[in-house]
Amino acid sequence: MKSVQDIVTEIQDAGLKVTPQRVAVIQALYKLNHPRAEEIYKEVSQNIPGLSPTTVYNVLDALVEKDIIKRVKTEKGVMRYDAVPDHHHHMYCITTDRVEDFFDPELDNLLQNYFEKKQLKGFKLEDIKLQLMGKFE
Amino acid sequence: MKSVQDIVTEIQDAGLKVTPQRVAVIQALYKLNHPRAEEIYKEVSQNIPGLSPTTVYNVLDALVEKDIIKRVKTEKGVMRYDAVPDHHHHMYCITTDRVEDFFDPELDNLLQNYFEKKQLKGFKLEDIKLQLMGKFE
DNA sequence: TTTCAATTTGTAATAAATACAATTTAATAA
DNA sequence: TTATTAAATTGTATTTATTACAAATTGAAA
Ligand SMILES: [Mn+2]
Ligand SMILES: [Mn+2]
Ligand SMILES: [Zn+2]
Ligand SMILES: [Zn+2]
């Protein structure tokens, strides 16, 4: 969990204005697990009555743009968001829509070595993300 | 490319009725590259005037259900479809929305071995998909 | 051929996301 | 502190992707 001061500094460093809406969206992202925009809206609305859904989308776009948060791919055609911008992978539950973070530097090394040898013709590889599909028990 | 007869057999084997719409959707999927439903609709409409967009969605859902085709995750909140149901990975272009197939049994082996040793607590891993992010040249 | 469940169609409805003009506000400087 | 202003938020309308559902049609079995 990040302190409010850390969040404020993060927003400032990105050259964005620090607004209650932005701080609250980031806090909601930490509280919720890879939520959709609408879930964030519901959560943040409790602290900021009168919040506009449009603002949530605006804030999320701005934070993604500045690499403070990330988008997460899902099977369904709905966007989800990730409080963790650092490189990591995801475990997807096949039956529910649960998504969990997966950090593994050893695996990252393995993959990096593999793709250094193996040349992908016509494609400049910049990042590898794993989707671990399965079931949480 | 698959012959019409192969497609017909595939649909029959799945226990579905063989309709011109279903055959044409599968053909369109082979012709187009990981298209959206709307692109498939436009393509198939040329051969089947009066085609309903709803039918395209219905057909795609039925084919996914029967594992004849697959859905593809994308950054954007739009579903895309894949003619290839067999296990493979994807190269995503960061700048355009291009997606290309990536088959690599050697890598699959490497990953399988890695995850056989490494235990994921509380998660039963069933499939690993790589998202290779980069740029086509 | 006849039958009928499965499929397609057409229309309406929903959900997620975006456009945009008016209002408000955070940050800066006087 | 107050004034200034570009940036951000809000509210409303709109778009886009998808789904719901009832009526019409049709593929395949009898
Ligand atoms: Mn957006
Ligand atoms: Mn669908
Ligand atoms: Zn994550
Ligand atoms: Zn593919």
Average pLDDT, chain B: 94
- Whether B77 has a pLDDT exceeding 80, the answer reads no
- Given this model, what pLDDT does residue B64 score? 96
B17 touches strand C (CB under 7 A): yes
Contact list in A for residue B112 (CB cut-off 8 A) is none
The predicted pLDDT at position B97 comes to: 84
Start-end of H helices in chain B? 4-13, 20-31, 37-47, 53-65, 105-117
- Report domain B86-137's class: alpha beta
Q: Higher pLDDT residue, A27 or B79? A: A27
- Nucleotide nearest A54, CA–C1', reads D10
Tokens of B4: 């019409």
Write out pLDDT tens, residues B2-28: 999 999 999 999 999 999 999 999 999
CA distances from A42 to A38, A47, B40, B43 (A): 6, 10, 36, 40
Contacts of A124 in chain B (CB under 8 A): 134-137
Kindly tell me if the per-residue pLDDT of A74 is higher than 90.
no
Q: Where in chain B is the domain with CATH 1.10.10.10?
A: 1-84
For B73-112, b/e burial (b = at least 16 CB within 10 A) is: bbeeeebbbbbeeeebbbbbeeeeeebbebebeebeeebe
Nucleotide nearest to B16 (CA to C1'): C6
pLDDT at A75 over 90: no
Using a CB-CB cut-off of 8 Å, the residues of chain A touching B71 are 75
Q: What is the DSSP letter of A50?
A: T
- Compute the average pLDDT of residues A72-85: 86
Please, where in chain A does CATH 3.30.1490.190 lie? 86-137
Using CA atoms, how far apart are residues B59 and A49, in angstroms rounded to an integer?
43
Q: What are phi and psi of A50, to 5 degrees?
A: 85, 0
pLDDT reported for residue B78: 81
- Any strand D atom closer than 7 Å to B84 CB: no
> Which segments of chain A does DSSP mark as H helices, in order?
4-13, 20-31, 37-47, 53-65, 105-117
pLDDT at B73: 79
CB B93 within 8 A of CB B99: yes
**Binning pLDDT at 50, 70 and 90, where does residue B32 land?**
very high
pLDDT in tens, A87-117: 999 999 988 889 999 999 999 999 999 999 9
- Residue pair B66/B14 in contact (Cβ under 8 Å)? The answer is yes
Instruction: Name the residue with the least CA to C1' distance from nucleotide D12.
Output: A54
pLDDT of residue B68: 97
- Comparing every residue's Cα with the C1' atom of nucleotide D10, the nearest one is A52
Decide if A121 touches B, using CB distance below 8 A.
Answer: no
**Residues linked to residue B38 through DSSP beta bridges, in sequence order:** none
Whether residue B48 is predicted with pLDDT greater than 80 in this model: the reply is: yes
What is the Cα–Cα distance from A26 to B40, expressed in whole angstroms? 38
Q: Residue B133: is its pLDDT beyond 80?
A: yes
| pLDDT value of position A95 | 86
Confidence of residue B59 (pLDDT cuts 50, 70, 90): very high
- Cβ separation A74–B73 shorter than 8 A: yes
Q: What region does A15 belong to: left with phi over 0, alpha with psi -120 to 50, or beta?
A: left
What tens digit of pLDDT does each residue of A37-61 get?
999 999 999 999 999 999 999 999 9
pTM for the full predicted model: 0.88
- In the three-class reduction of DSSP (H, G, I as helix; E, B as strand; rest coil), residue B115 is classed as helix
Q: What is the pLDDT of residue A96?
A: 86
**d(CA A63, C1' C12) / Å:** 37
Predicted confidence band of residue A26 (pLDDT cuts 50, 70, 90): very high
Looking at the complex, report in whole angstroms how far the Cα of residue B111 sits from the nearest Cα belonging to chain A. 9
Count how many residues are written for chain A: 137
Would you tell me which residues 3-42 of chain A have a C-beta closer than 8 angstroms to some C-beta of chain B?
none
CATH topology classification for B1-84: Arc Repressor Mutant, subunit A (1.10.10)
Structure-token pair, residue A72: 């997460």
Residue among B64, B71, B73 with most chain A CBs within 10 A, to mutate: B73
